[in-house]
Amino acid sequence: MITVGVEEEYLLLDPADGAPVARSARVRALAGGEVGAELLRSQVEVATPVCGDLDEVAGHLARLRRVAGEAAVAVGCRVAMTGSEPFEGRASSLVTDEPRYRALAQDTPPVIHAHAINGMHVHVGVPGRGAGVDALNRVRPWLPVLVAMGANSPLADGRDTGFASWRTVVFGRWPVSGPPPVFAGVGDYERRVSALLGSGVVRGRGQLYWQARLSDRYPTLEVRAVDVQVRVDEAEMFAGLVRALVETSLREGAANTHFPL
């Protein structure tokens, strides 16, 4: 069975004017451990458990959105499933008070200021890192398609950006972002990651902001190309598409078929 899990990031908005509000800590305290922190104090994150099918994914996302939404209402704000900050905000540059987030803010303050963006990350189980790297190579050509299909961030700071996915543009400002390179195998993957870490370009493996990568926390291939979706059924659909891409890639990898670069 190919397992799947989803992480979603949400924005906290003032219901009066739509501006982001720095109430993440209060929302998380009321949510009883179901809602996590994100880079900015105007953001929160949720994550499903490991799921065996898409109905399970949808059920958990609906529950987690309800928990986050009720906690937000209780502290006077609303949860927004938008990939970017639609209105100019008062709290868009307030960083969550955790060491890794403070370090990012110290390194790249201009990037952090524009980072009120929210994605949907789909984790698909892989049988090992070697198979995962091969599947990563095969999924890679489909990442631009997923970006286009999953775009949900045309507005930022009260203006139409001209991009369907402004989140993708903002992420491109980081040193390691966009589609990953093609890897010769798991050894090549680890050598390149070690070189990036040794160069000081990134502080840790969590800053490898490729649109797809191997997870270091779970035995999964993580696809990060899609903006957070407005509706649960849309999120469920993208979880299914990503799972299908990875499953097909694993099958083709086992058969040693050619893949396009």
Task: Report the range of poorest mean pLDDT among 104-108, 145-149, 157-161.
Answer: 104-108
The full set of domain ranges for the chain reads 4-254
**Mean pLDDT on 7-24:** 94
Strand partners, 156: 159
Q: What is the pLDDT of residues 17-71, one digit of tens each?
A: 998 999 999 999 999 999 999 989 999 999 999 999 999 999 999 999 999 999 9
- CA-wise closest residue to 179 among 163, 168, 190: 168
- The backbone torsions φ and ψ at residue 196, rounded to the nearest 5 degrees and listed phi first, read -65, -45
> Above 90 in pLDDT, residue 87?
no
Give the chain's mean pLDDT: 93
Q: What is the pLDDT of residues 90-141, one digit of tens each?
A: 555 688 888 888 887 788 777 777 788 999 999 999 999 999 999 999 999 9
Q: How many residues does the chain have?
A: 261
Cβ contact 39:83 at 8 Å? no
Strand partners, 178: 210
Q: What's the rounded Cα separation, in Å, for the pair 93 and 143?
A: 29
Cβ contact 233:65 at 8 Å? no
Q: Return the CATH number of 4-254, one of 3.90.1410.10, 3.30.590.20, 3.40.1710.10, 3.30.450.40.
A: 3.30.590.20
The pLDDT, as a whole number, for residue 153 is 97
CA distances from 215 to 116, 121, 162, 239 (A): 23, 11, 32, 16
> Above 90 in pLDDT, residue 229?
yes
Q: What's the rounded Cα separation, in Å, for the pair 183 and 180?
A: 9
Question: pLDDT tier at 195 (50, 70, 90 boundaries)?
Answer: very high
**Mean pLDDT on 215-219:** 93
